[in-house]
A and B are shown apart, each in its own frame.
Chain A
């Protein structure tokens, strides 16, 4: 069994300040973890993924996430928010070694960026 909890449904930051979007997961298996971003009227776009290599993962647009097994967390961060970062973000977990599709999506966090 597996689950994902995105701890904040909405996050608001000012442009130029750091972004932190929190994600906790549970999984009976070694997990693969992903962050996706969804802009209005668009599909989900992969930001970054963790599959077992370095625990600090760098993605597109300056985002990064750190896999912390002891805390079962995979929080997404960015040092300085840009207006174009305003979107909805989804944390996703899947069991790494099992074939077939078993992705579990979090409920999403809507990021708002104030000028």
Chain B
């Protein structure tokens, strides 16, 4: 049974470049979440979708960050232009239903992003 799949697992790029992170949620899950994890700030929710529609993007740090979910099985998080302070581990998670708060989230293994 496939879990949440993220790609790439590691990304190293120079500042100013565009970065695209990808996520395939668990089939049948209606809610998808993007998180960022750093030592300084811990785990932060960036944005969450329900039925492919962005519901809350208040955690997106700047206009340089954008996220899309064109269909139920795919989402992207894009950073353009990237900066060194964007270096972090980015997690995607999904959950069934409307993201109701009884439902646990299932996490991917993350993308470790390094901006030089």
Contacts and interface: CB of A to CB of B under 8 A. Distances in A.
Interface of A: 32, 34, 36, 41-46, 49, 51, 90, 94-103, 105, 107-108
Contacts of A51: 102
Which among A42, A101, A105 has the greatest number of chain B C-beta atoms within 10 A? Answer: A101
A101 B43 contact: no
Given A42-B109, A43-B4, A105 B43 contact: yes
Interface residues of B, number: 25
A46 B101 contact: no
A32 B101 contact: yes
A44 B91 contact: yes
Nearest to A102: B101
A32 B104 CA distance: 10
A97 B31 CA distance: 17
A100 to B, nearest CB: 6
A49 B104 contact: yes
Please list the 6 inter-chain residue pairs (A to B) with the smallest Cβ-Cβ separation, ordered nearest first: A43-B107, A94-B101, A44-B107, A46-B104, A101-B99, A51-B102
A100 B55 contact: yes
Interface string B30-50: 010100000000110100101
A108 B108 contact: no
A105 B101 contact: no
12 contacts: A43-B108, A44-B43, A44-B91, A44-B105, A46-B106, A49-B102, A90-B43, A94-B101, A96-B101, A100-B99, A101-B33, A103-B45
